[in-house]
Every structure is written in structure tokens, then in C-alpha cells.
Amino acid sequence: MPSDLSPIDKAKFVAAKQATTYVQSGMKVGLGTGSTAAWLVRCLGEMVRDEGLRIKGVPTSTRTAELARGAGIEVISLDEAKWLDLTIDGADEYDGDLNLIKGGGGALLQEKIVATASDQMVVIADVSKQVETLGAFPLPVEVIPFGWQTTKTLIEESLIGMDVLGNTTSLRMNGETPFVTDEGNHILDLHLHRIGNARQLSLVINQIPGVVENGLFIDICDSVVIGYGDGRVEVRDITNGTTDEKTFDFLDEDNLFSDIAD
């Protein structure tokens, strides 16, 4: 691992590297989407090539599927896998109870389906994603294209009675056109600033016609692996109530990871 990585890239790498300890040969593993999850895929690919690791990966986006195949990981669909041993994914925010906001990369629907079809979900993140209360990161909501403006209005009206600080909603764009998810839907980003009752908000939003799913992951994550820019990594297990820490040393070596960017 090169020593000239930025602190944020070091943090993402050590989190991903530590998370590979959860993976054993023969497992069916959900592979997350995003810059931190990309480090994980490359780490697992190296283990497949150099250590004989045998796994079947279920990607949560077309981007992750392409990366996994390129890394030498066998890719299968969730329908083929039926159930997974483990999912490892990133997060845009996590709180002390390991509730999450996900969907900054636009893959929240597949990410939530894969995570809930797993015996265990492990989140990998740098320490900047830790918050006391969810909501600083805009909450993504996936909606069908038909009548999306009506759905947007209904969401904004529902926020009036919620324990949130903001109620601005925007359609996510990809240049001059609306962003389109792998499932052909749009994403509305809810700028709430603070979410006082995430469970209630999730239930209310998902009852609105046109909403497919929201980016609140409640009671899904079992552990979070937190990377720091100095090479430290912390593992918090919500089930056992334990916290462990270790430090990785960074050496000047050629590796597969130098081409990964945010």
C-alpha cells in the first residue's frame, strides 16, 4: 500500500481491508456501491487471486458488478444466491445505534434489498460519516418517474408533521437531465438537516404513492468498521456491544488500488 495516499483514502482503505476479515471461502457476499466499497472489492479480488479465496458476489449496482468482474470475483444475481451470508457496504451517515443514511451513489434500492437478504450487514466508513443524529446528509428517496412532481409534493406535505429541521426537496440531476437509477427510477433528495425520529419518518415516506424506497437503513446494520487517516481502524459490534481497535502500517508497495478515486 503506498504511503502517499491522502488521509481520507487511507481511512477508506483500512476500513475495507479490515472488513475482509469477515469474509470466508464459500460465502455469498453482498458487495456495496461507492468509493469505500470499491476499495473492498479490490481487496477481495486480491484475495481471490493471491490467496485462493472462493466467494460469490452479489453486487448492488452495475458499477460494482463491473468492478467485481474486473477484479476476478464471481458475480451472481440475488435470485441465484437466494440468501447471503454477509453484505459489506458503505454509508453516507451512521449514528450511535448504527442506523444509516445511504443512497448518495444512487443505489439505495438494490443496497437495501441485498442488505436485508443477508445474515449480517457490515458497514465500512471513514470517521467523517459518524453523526449524533441523522439528517445532515440529504436523505435520498427513490421514486418512479410517472408523476414524480406529485410524489414530491406529497413528501413535502408529509414532512410538515415530522420531527425534522428542514423540508426542502430536490430532484437529483445528472447534468441537464434527471438522474436515473439502475431500476429506471428518479431520486428525490430531502434536505432535512436533522431527523428526530428516523423510524417514523421511514414508515411515513414509504406509504406515499410513487415512492419505491428511502435511504434510511434502520436496524439493518450489525457492525461498522471505521477507518482513520492515520491507519487506525475501529470495529463496533452493535449485537455484542464491543469496540475493538487496530492500526495498519503503510508501506511503499505497488498494488492494485492506486487507480481508485473518490
- Known binding residues for substrate are 33-36, 89-92, 102-105, 129
Q: What nine digits make up the cell of 79?
A: 435470485
170: left (phi over 0), alpha (psi -120 to 50) or beta: beta
Phi, psi of 61, rounded to the nearest 5 degrees: -165, 165
Active site residue 111: yes
DSSP letter string, 192-256 = -S-BS-HHHHHHHHHTSTTEEEESEE-S---EEEEE-TTSEEEEEETTTTEEEEEE--------S
Question: Rounded distance, CA 168 to CA 63, Å?
Answer: 29
Residue list, annotated binding site: 33-36, 89-92, 102-105, 129
Q: Which of 46, 93, 111, 213 is catalytic?
A: 111
Active site residues: 111
